[in-house]
């Protein structure tokens, strides 16, 4: 059975949904200081299409620290993971693309598994509970193991005795990366099952035994994979050694970067202000100099007309001459700012082009181009405690916009690539210094001793965040609330999530 023949229902449903959408958006927490949002844009098959990405968050004005947003934004663009061809992979890049197809499928199964568990255990579905399909959860574990086994059979064995040593080494790396991705899938599944078991939904008790059976099946699959890693001599995570755990995470990160590198596009970016700086400066200098020269002639004629007598008129002329020269400098500064602002507002602050690497497309065709802007402004919002009172609270809105074009690429489409993926990370660490202590003392009454005691309570701030992608096919949006404190980012609360359960904070599988 080849990789392409495995098509679990969970994968089919998820991939069908993604095709029908105009694009997919996702917002998450990448680490303690960076919020991450990713957007996928479909590759056109006929003519070029346009898209617009919008990201917006509102930070309380008393916590906001003014900073240059471009210095804190990290972005990169890559081709979305291919679906795999099922053919013989006889080159290193072909091996990397095939194993990424496996990673893509495992991610889809994992997302469906997690979503199903979250909906079944959500308190918001207490009146109309989401039915738990235990058979589907069990099948997901079996299908994931089958995918890993088929990938190893098709990609990890030599096709000829005379294969180059670098290709043999790549096949061993494929084997190890398949193991890492399977472990990540099983870990995510186990975490989702524990969250479901520990949820406060009254309907969990009715299918608790079945969920425990799925959890036991997950543990068995994890044990088998750990034994396989030991037989193959792969680095394992030893719970008794922090150094071993550190080495395992570092190895997993290196493997992920190694394989995903084949999908990254080459970005060419430049700041519009830097490109037009000299042109604008020269244009404004001509206007200011003309204005100053005109007044210089006028004042000189006035001085000649005064007959060279020294008096109050000459002093006035000197003062006027100074004002003219000072006005000249101000005209230059105001003119540069005005023109730059108009260009930013009506065109962009940064321009980017994304090319395919030469080893993928020798012609290095442009896959997409984009115009980007990042603005900040202060808004007055109704007081949340009493909106009708007329009281206002200040907040700083940060808004990133990217408008671009995506061009069709027949060769990429034949290779199974259907979408382009933009990933952005924004560092919010500048505002942490303005926040209050992460823990505050709260007085409570001890029922046993009937005395006042103090407990530590978390002091958190909530920042609305929203991501939207608009294409010719429609609009997709994801919104939530970013919860943070002085120590960093904590979680994202989405509408419909059960806030008393562990949030879904699994990060995007991208290199740092």
CATH number at residue 190: 1.20.190
Q: Is residue 480 part of a domain?
A: yes
Q: Is residue 19 part of a domain?
A: no
Instruction: Mark whether 114 and 216 lie in a shared domain.
Output: yes
Q: Is residue 229 part of a domain?
A: yes
How many whole angstroms separate alpha carbon 104 and alpha carbon 98? 10
Residue 445 sits in which domain range? 25-80+366-406+418-512
Instruction: List residues bridging with 41 in a β-sheet.
Output: 420
Instruction: Mark whether 242 and 285 lie in a shared domain.
Output: no
Instruction: Mark whether 220 and 115 lie in a shared domain.
Output: yes
Q: What is the pLDDT of residue 345?
A: 63
Q: Is residue 178 part of a domain?
A: yes
Q: Is residue 70 part of a domain?
A: yes
Residue 126 CB coordination number (10 Å): 12
Give the strands of the sheet with 392-406, arranged side by side: 266-271, 350-355, 366-382, 392-406, 49-60, 461-471, 474-485, 488-493
Q: What is the pLDDT of residue 13?
A: 46
Q: Is residue 9 part of a domain?
A: no
Nearest to 23 by CA among 257, 368, 258: 368
3 state SS of 453 = strand
Instruction: Mark whether 52 and 97 lie in a shared domain.
Output: no
**Inter-residue contact 402 to 422 (CB < 8 Å):** yes
Distances (CA, A) of 157 to 84, 130, 151, 154, 511: 17, 43, 10, 7, 28
- Written as tens digits, the pLDDT of the chain (512 aa) is 343 343 444 444 444 444 445 678 889 999 889 999 999 998 888 888 999 999 999 998 888 888 888 899 999 898 887 665 555 567 888 888 888 888 888 988 988 888 888 777 665 554 445 567 788 888 899 999 999 999 888 888 776 667 788 888 989 999 999 999 999 999 999 998 888 888 766 767 777 888 888 889 999 999 999 999 999 999 888 888 889 899 999 999 999 999 888 888 888 887 766 665 556 556 656 665 665 666 666 656 665 555 544 455 555 555 666 666 566 666 656 665 655 555 566 667 888 999 988 878 888 888 899 999 988 889 898 888 888 888 888 999 999 999 999 998 888 877 778 888 999 999 999 999 888 888 888 888 888 888 898 888 888 899 999 999 998 888 899 999 999 988 899 888 887 554 443 433 333 334 33
Instruction: Mark whether 132 and 239 lie in a shared domain.
Output: yes
Q: Is residue 359 part of a domain?
A: no
Distances (CA, A) of 314 to 193, 309, 323: 90, 8, 14
DSSP string, 54-118: EEEEEEETTT-----GGGGEEEEEEEPPP----S---SHHHHHHHHHHHHHHHHHHHHHHHHHHH
Q: Which of 264, 295, 321 is the last residue before a domain boundary?
A: 264
Report the alpha-carbon angle 79-83-85, nearest 5: 115
**Inter-residue contact 468 to 441 (CB < 8 Å):** no
How many whole angstroms separate alpha carbon 272 and alpha carbon 249? 40
Instruction: Mark whether 428 and 341 lie in a shared domain.
Output: no
Nearest to 357 by CA among 270, 219, 445, 264: 264
How does pLDDT run across 257-266, given as a tens digit for each residue? 998 888 888 8
Q: How many residues does the chain have?
A: 512
Q: Which of 314, 346, 378 is the last residue before a domain boundary?
A: 346
Instruction: Mark whether 93 and 46 lie in a shared domain.
Output: no
Question: What residue spans of 347-459 are helical by DSSP H?
Answer: 410-414
What pTM does this model have?
A: 0.73
Instruction: Mark whether 149 and 237 lie in a shared domain.
Output: yes
Distances (CA, A) of 139 to 57, 82, 226, 333, 359: 40, 23, 20, 67, 39
Instruction: Mark whether 394 and 307 lie in a shared domain.
Output: no
Sorted by sequence, the CB contacts under 8 Å of residue 7 that are 6+ apart come out as: none
Question: What residue spans of 199-271 are helical by DSSP H?
Answer: 208-232, 242-260
Residue that has been written with the tokens 């694009």 in this structure: 23
Q: Is residue 279 part of a domain?
A: yes
Q: Which of 264, 286, 306 is the last residue before a domain boundary?
A: 264
How many whole angstroms separate alpha carbon 287 and alpha carbon 153? 73
Instruction: Mark whether 171 and 198 lie in a shared domain.
Output: yes
Instruction: Mark whether 102 and 222 lie in a shared domain.
Output: yes
Instruction: Mark whether 47 and 75 lie in a shared domain.
Output: yes
Q: What is the pLDDT of residue 478?
A: 92
How does pLDDT run across 27-59, given as a tens digit for each residue? 999 988 999 999 999 888 888 899 999 999 999
**Inter-residue contact 175 to 152 (CB < 8 Å):** yes
3 state SS of 129 = coil
* Helix 92-121 × helix 9-20 angle, to 10°: 90
Q: How many CA atoms lie within 13 A of 506 on its CB side?
A: 14
Count of domains forming the chain: 3
């Amino acid at each position: 059975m080849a990789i392409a023949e495995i098509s679990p229902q969970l994968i089919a449903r998820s991939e069908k949904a993604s095709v029908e959408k105009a694009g997919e958006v996702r917002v998450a927490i990448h680490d303690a200081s960076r919020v991450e949002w990713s957007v996928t844009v479909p590759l056109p098959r006929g003519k070029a299409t346009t898209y617009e990405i919008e990201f917006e968050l509102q930070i309380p004005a008393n916590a906001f620290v003014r900073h240059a947003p471009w210095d804190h934004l990290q972005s990169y663009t890559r081709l979305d993971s291919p679906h795999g061809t099922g053919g013989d992979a006889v080159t290193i890049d072909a091996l990397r693309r095939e194993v990424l197809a496996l990673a893509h499928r495992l991610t889809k199964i994992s997302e469906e598994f997690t979503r199903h568990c979250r909906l079944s255990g959500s308190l918001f579905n207490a009146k109309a509970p989401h039915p738990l399909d235990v058979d589907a959860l069990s099948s997901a574990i079996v299908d994931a193991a089958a995918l890993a086994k088929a990938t190893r059979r098709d990609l990890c064995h030599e096709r000829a005795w005379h294969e180059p040593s670098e290709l043999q080494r790549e096949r061993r790396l494929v084997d190890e990366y398949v193991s890492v991705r399977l472990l990540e899938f099983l870990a995510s599944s186990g975490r989702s099952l524990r969250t479901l078991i520990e949820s406060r939904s009254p309907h969990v008790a009715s299918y608790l035994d079945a969920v425990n059976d799925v959890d036991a099946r997950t543990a068995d699959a994890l044990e088998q994979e750990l034994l396989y890693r030991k037989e193959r001599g792969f680095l394992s995570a030893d719970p008794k050694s922090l150094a071993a755990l550190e080495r395992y995470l570092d190895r997993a990160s290196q493997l992920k970067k190694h394989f995903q590198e084949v999908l990254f596009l080459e970005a060419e970016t430049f700041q519009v202000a830097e490109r037009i700086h000299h042109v604008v400066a020269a244009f404004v200098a001509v206007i200011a100099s003309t204005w100053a020269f005109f007044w210089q002639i006028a004042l000189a004629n006035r001085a000649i007309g005064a007959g060279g007598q020294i008096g109050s008129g000459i002093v006035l002329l000197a003062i006027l001459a100074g004002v003219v020269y000072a006005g000249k400098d101000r005209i230059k500064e105001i003119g540069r700012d005005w023109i730059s602002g108009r260009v930013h507002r009506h065109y962009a602050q940064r321009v980017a082009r994304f090319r395919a690497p030469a080893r993928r497309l020798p012609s290095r065709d442009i896959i997409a181009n984009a115009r980007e802007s990042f603005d900040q402004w202060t808004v007055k919002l109704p007081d949340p405690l009493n909106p009708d009172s007329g009281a206002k609270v200040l907040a700083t809105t940060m808004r990133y916009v990217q408008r671009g074009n995506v061009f069709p690429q027949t060769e990429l489409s034949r290779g199974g690539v259907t979408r382009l993926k933009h990933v952005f990370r924004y560092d919010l660490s500048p505002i942490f210094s303005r926040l209050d202590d992460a823990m505050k003392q709260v007085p409570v009454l001890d029922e046993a001793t009937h005395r006042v005691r103090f407990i530590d309570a978390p002091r958190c701030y909530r920042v609305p965040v929203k991501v939207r992608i608009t294409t010719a096919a429609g609009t997709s949006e994801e919104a939530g609330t970013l919860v943070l404190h002085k120590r960093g980012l904590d979680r994202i609360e989405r509408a419909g999530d059960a806030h008393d359960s562990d949030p879904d904070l699994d990060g995007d599988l991208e290199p740092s």
